[in-house]
Copies of this chain bind each other. A is one copy, B any other.
Amino acid sequence: MRVLPLDAVLDVPAGTTIMAAIQKAGLPMRTGCGGKGTCGDCLIQMREGRVDGPSFAALPDELRKKHYALACRTPVHDDLTIFLPKYKPPEIKAGFSSTFFEEHKNAVSGSCEIDPVVRKVSLRLPPPSLDNNSSDLKRLRRELLKEEGIRISSCEYSTLKKLARAVRKNKGRIAAVLFKSEESWALLDVRAEEEGGEKIFGLACDIGTTTVVLQIVDLERGEIVGTAAGLNRQIMRGEDIISRIDYAQKPARLRELRNLIAETINHLIEKAAQAGRISPSDIYSASFAGNTTMIHLFLNLDPRYLREEPYVPTLNDVPILSNRILRLKMNPEARAYFAPAVGSYVGGDITAGLLCTPILRDSSKIFLFIDAGTNGELVVGNKEWLMTCACSAGPAFEGGGIKCGLPATSGAIEKIRLNDKGEPDYSVIGGTKPKGLCGSGMVDLLAELFVHGFIDRLGKFTEKTRQTRLSQNETDEGFLIEKPARGYGGRALLITEKDIANLIRTKAAVFSACSLLLKNVGLTFDKIDALYIAGGFGRHLDVENAIRIGLLPDLGRDRFHYLGNTSLLGATLILLNGKNRAWVEDIAEDMTYLELNTESNYMNEYTGALFLPHTHLEYFPSFKPGGRPGVSR
């Protein structure tokens, strides 16, 4: 039986009810009546195949004609394709929820108050008369000044075009959408206002090299109404930024990359807008965070000089752009802000990310911020000073370059444990059969394989693996995570030695960069009071396992804070409070960049980190005989 829209394929013994089959497979299905066929919660629609059963006859004619049935009362006797009309895809939290601002207002550097640069005001214009026949625009200006104290200094042409009709449609009741920049206001839109009032929305978007995640936010209440994540479609033209910059050397190819990222974002806006049941044309404000290369490519700016010495970007601070330029699926007059970059290799994703840490609240402690995306970036410092560097980590933790890897979306294993026989116990995002593993699942798996002796310190399969779990699917040989019958689409889920080598290279790049950065400022890991970890790992990251594989240093576990996608979270903070723009610009201005490429020690550090957990076991005392987990060295 095939289940849509999940696209899950279940093996169902004849006579089992559809509901039993779905629940057995771990797919989501509610029942309010316990399967008596009375609540209607388990309504499904037949797309292919034939069914019959008591429920089918009991449904109203109009539903029957459209091939609806109740899953609890319908046995399977045919090869079916069914659709779950009530299924809602799981929200990707990425360390963030609508209540974040309330919960974190004292723990982040940015302001959590809701005070966006785009706002809507409701007005009622007095009707014109022979005695007061001021123009429509003047009456609007006057009312804005009188009622809201707002003096507009510019006005979009599209608004002028609509104005005469809007102010006459509903007895002068209108909603005006305004954008504040420094001390001046621009009128972005005017509409006749209906009874219910109109809502306006903002878009926060993290443009990652591998993954793009965005969310749509109600600009008045700060609520997230829709979220969507997907692979950056540019990935077909190169997995890392260097290969994309190389690809972009011809104008037509640069344009192609620009179009690919715009398509990616537009597709995700549509998904998130559908989830939130809003119209994309009600999105008037956008906040983007991404690395410098991604932003150059998104803006169709030649990225060539980013990788030629002396590594000069066209710009770090993108001026506010109108959606007339960007042409995304938002209101054409929407204004887009880009978190400022520090330089070619430390971008707006990092400056925005720092807003979500307390790093700028305190000058008595030392903080370390690690963003382990496809490009790894690190920041050490506090309110008084900030030093940053970058490394090329690779896309492994976001599922790139790994056969069993996935971004943190439906079908990805996000947690996994192995017993000593190598049998897995895991949880899958969306509750389907496993398609692969997201970052957090890979960190877990690597640690478990190592701890249970399935791989050695170099990441090679041991004899134990060869004797017990080595298996094959159509294309690969590797450690058997899940057998075909329980794998997604009836396919065995494996991790290959090559996958493991990629993961190790990624963790080594991050750890060695960390280590070098600290050496450069004369610090050691034990001087770090708090570590903030960000990245596309998923909702959770098992810090113990991350230390076990040598991705993170072996410090007291209470010093670690996994924040998830701070680029997205920072973009949201910027979206919801205009003051965070000044903040993030200060951060970008004040940070000192350390170029690792010119550090002679980098290769030594990196090579040493290519072991599990490290070539120097003394760095990881918790895992030495006699070492106690969770004790700082």
Contact = CB atoms under 8 A, between A and B. Distances in A.
Interface of A: 128-130, 132-138, 153-155, 157, 160-161, 163-165, 182, 299-302, 304-305, 309-321, 324-325, 343-344, 595
Given A153-B182, A300-B161, A301-B161, A315 B130 contact: no
Contact of A133 (B164, B311, B317): B311
How many copies of the chain does the oligomer comprise?
Answer: 2
Contact of A130 (B128, B300, B309): B309
A221 B305 CA distance: 38
A134 B317 contact: no
B135 A313 contact: yes
B312 A133 contact: yes
A343 B164 CA distance: 15
Most B C-beta atoms less than 10 A away, residue of A164, A304, A343:
A164
Nearest to A292: B135
A264 to B, nearest CB: 20
A135 B341 CA distance: 10
Given A133-B343, A343-B133, A314 B163 contact: yes
10 contacts: A129-B310, A133-B311, A135-B312, A135-B315, A135-B343, A137-B315, A157-B321, A157-B325, A160-B315, A164-B314
A564 B134 CA distance: 30
A130 B598 CA distance: 11
A304 B320 CA distance: 36
Nearest to A340: B135
A132 B312 CA distance: 9
Contacts of A343: 133, 135
Contacts of A163: 314-315
B154 A320 contact: yes
A138 B318 CA distance: 11
A245 to B, nearest CB: 13
A315 B165 CA distance: 13
Contacts of A309: 130
Nearest to A305: B164
What does DSSP make chain A's interface, helix, strand, loop or mixed?
A: loop
Contact of A302 (B135, B165, B300, B321): B165
A129 B305 CA distance: 12
Nearest to A127: B310
Given A128-B310, A153-B182, A157-B321, A302 B164 contact: yes
A548 to B, nearest CB: 39
Given A153-B182, A182-B153, A136 B321 contact: no
A159 to B, nearest CB: 9
A3 to B, nearest CB: 46
Contact of A299 (B130, B134, B154, B157): B157
Most B C-beta atoms less than 10 A away, residue of A135, A182, A305, A324:
A135
Contact of A160 (B155, B314, B320, B324): B314
A311 B131 CA distance: 11
A163 B137 CA distance: 37
A320 B155 CA distance: 9
A319 B182 contact: no
Contacts of A128: 310, 312
A326 to B, nearest CB: 9
A472 to B, nearest CB: 50
A321 B317 CA distance: 25
A138 B315 contact: yes
Given A161-B301, A312-B128, A319 B154 contact: yes
A128 B343 CA distance: 13
Contact of A324 (B130, B135, B155, B324): B324
Nearest to A134: B312
A35 B125 CA distance: 76
B135 A316 contact: yes
Contacts of A317: 135, 137-138
Nearest to A139: B312
A157 B298 CA distance: 12
Most B C-beta atoms less than 10 A away, residue of A302, A314, A343:
A314
A213 to B, nearest CB: 25
A137 B134 CA distance: 43
A616 to B, nearest CB: 32
Contacts of A595: 130
Contacts of A157: 299, 319, 321, 325
